[in-house]
Structure 1
Amino acid sequence: MSILVWNCRGLGNPRTVRVLRQLAKDKIPSLVFLVETKCNCRRMDMIRGKLRFDNCLAVDSVGLRGGIALLWKTDWNVEIISYSRWHVNSIVLEEENDPTWQFTGLYGHPEVAKRSSSWQLLHMLKPTTPMAWLCAGDFNEILYQKEKLGGASRPYKQIEEFRQVVERCGLSDLQSRGQKYTWANNKFGGDFIKERIDRAFANKEWSNLHSLALCTILPAVNSDHSSLYINKQFLNCKRNKRGLIFKYEAAWDLRDECQGIVTEAWGKG
C-alpha cells in the first residue's frame, strides 16, 4: 500500500502524462496527490482513466497556474473532508476494521508574501481529535538552511514560521531516502539553485500506526520537482537471498543524459 506525491508542473504535455503513467505502473500507488496540474477537471478525469484509477477529486487551475488533484483506487475508502486551490483533506480507511487516518495534500503558496496563509491553513487542518495524520506535498519552503544549495540564504524569519507551524501541528519528517533535494531551477553556474521543498510529514499517531513507512525521493523526470513515493510497509519487504535486486526505472530513459551515464558506467565496469 503506497502513496505518490508529485508537483508535475503541468499535465498538458503528453510526455509528462507518460511519465506519470509509468510511475503509477511501477509503484502501484493506491493514492496519488498532484500539484500544479495546470488543467481543468475534465482533462484530469481523462488522465484518471489513463492511469486506471477509480476516483478523482480535481481543483481547476487558474489559467496556466495551479491546479491540484487527488486520485485513489477503490481498495482504499477515501472520504473528502475539504478542498481548495491549496489543499485536499481526506479520511482514509484501508481495510474494514482498520483505524482510519487523515491524509492532507498541501500546496504552499508560491508567493512568499502570502505563504503565511498556507501555514494558517495547515494549522486549521490539524485533526481536532487524536488521529493518525499524514501531510505531504510541495510546501515551497525549507526547514533548514542546509536544505538549500546555491543562491542567497533564506531569511531566518521565513524558515522559522514554517518550523513553528510544523511543531504546533505535531508533525515530523518521515524517514526518507534518495535525492537530497526535491527541486532545482535548471539554471547554470552561479544561478543554479536546489532546495528540498517537497516532503511528507506525519504525526506520532500515524508514525506509530505505520512504523515501517519510508518516503523515497525519486529522480526528477520531466518536471523540476522530484516525486515522493511513500511506502507504508517498505521495510517489511523480504529480501532476495543474494541481496537486493537492482531494478531499472523505465522513466529514466526520458532523461537526455541517461544514455551517456549508462555508457560511461558500463565502460568502467
Structure 2
Amino acid sequence: MKEFWGRLGYYPVGIVDAVGHKGGIWFLSANLKFSCKIIWVMNQYVTLEIDGGGRRWICSAVYGSPQATNRVELWSHLLDIVCAFRTREGGNFYSNRSSIFASTLDSCGLFDLTTSGRRFTWFRKIQGNKEIAKRLDRACCTTEWRLLFSEAFVEVLSRSHSDHCPLLIRCQGVLIKKENRPFRFQAAWATHPDYKAIVQKSWDSTDFGIHRKLLGVQEVSLEFNSTVFANIFIKKRELEGI
C-alpha cells in the first residue's frame, strides 16, 4: 500500500492497521515541506501536530467504532485535545447516538468543512443485492483553523477495495468552474453583526424540512456575500497584489 500511495505522490504520516475488515486509518500527506509529528495513536484515532508554511495546527484522523460503548473513549479523547490545546494556545438512524456525536462536536467547537464530490461516503451490499449508502465520513474544523485556510474544502473520492470513500482535504482550494463551484461558508460572514439575524430569518421562513432550510441559508449567504462583502476573494487578491 505504501508503494501504491507513493506512486501517486503521497506518503503516510500515521497508520493504524485494520483488524480483519474492521477499522484501519491511513493518514497521508502530499507536502514534504510540512512537519507531521504523531502525538497520540489508538485504534480509533491518530492525532498529529502539523507545522508548515508558518502555521501550526492539530489534526485527528478518526475511525469511530460501530459499537456505541467503544466510542465513549473517542469522544473523551477529542474533548481532551480541545481542553489541552485551548489552554496551551488559546441504514438506521439512532437519534440518541447522533445527539451525543453532535454534542461532542459542539463542545469541541467543530463544524463540517464544505464537501465536494459524492454525497455519501459509505456503501454496503445487503440482502437481495441492494446497496445502502450513508454519510459516515466527514472532515471537521474549528473557526480558528477555518480562518487559517479560508478556501479549504473536502473532496469525497471514489472508493476502491474499502466500503468507505477516501477524503481528500484541499487546504488551498482549487480553481473550479463557476457553475460547479461548491458552496463554502466563509468565517468572515460570522464577524458581521447582521449575519446571524439574516440566517435566523431565512431558517424560520420555511417549514419544508432541514434540506430546504439549508438551501435557503445558502442562498441568503451568497447574496449577503455579494452585497456586503462584494466577493472577499477578489478583495483578498487585490490586497495581495495578485
- TM-score scaled to structure 2, two decimals? 0.62
Structure 1 residue runs of 4 or more that deviate by more than 4 Å after TM superposition: 46-55, 188-191
Give me the whole-angstrom Cα distance separating, in 1, the residues matched to 2:173 and 2:26.
25
Give me the whole-angstrom Cα distance separating, in 2, the residues matched to 1:79 and 1:130.
19
Quick one: structure 1 residues 186 and 105, their matched pair in 2 at CA, closer, same or farther if it must change by over 3 Å? same
Q: Does 1:186 align with 2:121?
A: no
Quick one: structure 1 residues 127 and 216, their matched pair in 2 at CA, closer, same or farther if it must change by over 3 Å? farther
SS of structure 2 residue aligned to 1:160: helix
Cα deviations by residue, 1:42-61 (Å, 9 ceiling, x for unpaired) = xx5x5565555555433344
After superposition, residues 216-235 of structure 1 pair within 5 angstroms as 216-235=155-174
Out of 99, 104, 109, the residue aligned to residue 55 of structure 2 is 99
Match of residue 137 from structure 2: 198
Give me the whole-angstrom Cα distance separating, in 1, the residues matched to 2:9 and 2:156.
23
Question: Is the 2:110–2:142 Cα contact (8 Å) retained in structure 1?
Answer: yes
* Bigger radius of gyration: 2
Aligned residues: 177
CA shift at 1:177, angstroms?
2.0
Match of residue 260 from structure 1: none
Amino acid at match of 1:109: S
Question: Is the 2:25–2:62 Cα contact (8 Å) retained in structure 1?
Answer: no
Give me the whole-angstrom Cα distance separating, in 2, the residues matched to 1:171 and 1:196.
17
Amino acid at match of 2:75: W
Give me the whole-angstrom Cα distance separating, in 2, the residues matched to 1:178 and 1:87.
24
After superposition, residues 108-147 of structure 1 pair within 5 angstroms as 108-126=64-82, 128-130=84-86
Cα deviations by residue, 1:29-85 (Å, 9 ceiling, x for unpaired) = xxxxxxxxxxxxxxx5x5565555555433344455433333444221111111111
CA shift at 1:170, angstroms?
0.2
Match of residue 28 from structure 1: none
Give me the whole-angstrom Cα distance separating, in 2, the residues matched to 1:85 and 1:107.
8
Quick one: structure 1 residues 81 and 169, their matched pair in 2 at CA, closer, same or farther if it must change by over 3 Å? same
CA shift at 1:192, angstroms?
3.7
List gaps (5 residues or longer) in structure 1.
1-16, 18-43, 132-150, 245-269
**Higher RCO (CA < 8 A, seq sep 6+):** 1
SS of structure 2 residue aligned to 1:168: helix
Out of 9, 19, 25, the residue aligned to residue 68 of structure 1 is 25
Match of residue 9 from structure 1: none
Give me the whole-angstrom Cα distance separating, in 2, the residues matched to 1:226 and 1:208.
27
List gaps (5 residues or longer) in structure 2.
181-242
Give me the whole-angstrom Cα distance separating, in 2, the residues matched to 1:186 and 1:180.
17
Give me the whole-angstrom Cα distance separating, in 2, the residues matched to 1:232 and 1:64.
30
After superposition, residues 144-163 of structure 1 pair within 5 angstroms as 151-152=91-92, 154-163=93-102
Give me the whole-angstrom Cα distance separating, in 2, the residues matched to 1:221 and 1:64.
14
Quick one: structure 1 residues 93 and 50, their matched pair in 2 at CA, closer, same or farther if it must change by over 3 Å? same
SS of structure 1 residue aligned to 2:40: strand
CA shift at 1:231, angstroms?
0.9
- TM-score scaled to structure 1, two decimals? 0.56
Amino acid at match of 1:172: F
Amino acid at match of 1:58: I
Amino acid at match of 1:216: E
SS of structure 2 residue aligned to 1:125: helix
Amino acid at match of 2:24: G
Quick one: structure 1 residues 238 and 63, their matched pair in 2 at CA, closer, same or farther if it must change by over 3 Å? closer
- Greater mean deviation of Cα atoms: 157-166 or 220-229: 220-229
